[in-house]
């Protein structure tokens, strides 16, 4: 059965453990990291100037679409720009792929899908 979520009307939340200026709206979350199954779909928003400071790695697959704004891949040691991404870029990251840290000059909105292949 189809369900419709008006993202514009949803409240963004700042979950514990997220860096300042980064929020999310969770659309669907059956991701079970203990039993290695399920899927999580969410929107992530960076405020202008927001950044993460560490590399990420996880045991599930991740696909990310940069819906709006800019995102910058930073050098993990110096937090200096390495590569700039713009609206429309799509990222596929197999489980175990290091990625980040990231920042955004103008702010951005990402659509993320996390899942296990089982």
pLDDT digits (tens, 9 = 90+) for 46-72: 999 999 999 999 999 999 999 999 999
Neighbour tally for 110: CB within 10 Å: 23
Residue 52 lies in a domain: yes
Domain hosting residue 95, numbered range: 16-109
Residue 7 is encoded by which pair of tokens? 């993202």
CATH assignment at residue 42:
2.60.120.10
Give yes or no for a contact between 53 and 79, defined as CB atoms under 8 angstroms apart. yes
Cα–Cα distance for residue pair 17/10, rounded to 1 Å: 21
Give CA–CA dist 1/51, Å, rounded.
Answer: 38
- How many domains does the chain divide into? 1
For the beta carbon of residue 7, count every other beta carbon within 10 angstroms: 12
Q: 29 in a domain, yes or no?
A: yes
Of residues 79 and 92, more confidence is placed in 92
Give the mean pLDDT of 12-32: 96
Residue 118: per-residue pLDDT: 65
Residue 7 domain flag: no
Residue pLDDT, tens place only, 81-103: 999 999 999 999 999 999 999 99
Average pLDDT over residues 77-83: 92
Q: How far is CA 75 from CA 15, 16, 80, 86, in A?
A: 25, 24, 5, 18
């Amino acid at each position: 059965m189809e369900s419709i979520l008006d993202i514009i009307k949803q409240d963004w939340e700042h979950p514990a453990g997220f860096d300042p200026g980064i929020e999310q709206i969770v659309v669907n979350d059956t991701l079970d990291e203990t039993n290695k199954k399920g899927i999580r779909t969410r929107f992530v928003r960076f405020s202008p100037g927001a950044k993460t400071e560490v590399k990420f790695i996880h045991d599930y697959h991740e696909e990310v679409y940069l819906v709006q704004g800019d995102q910058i891949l930073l050098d993990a040691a110096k937090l200096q720009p390495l590569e700039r991404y713009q609206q429309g870029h799509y990222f596929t990251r197999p489980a175990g792929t290091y990625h980040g840290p990231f920042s955004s000059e103008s702010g951005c909105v990402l659509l993320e899908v996390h899942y296990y292949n089982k």
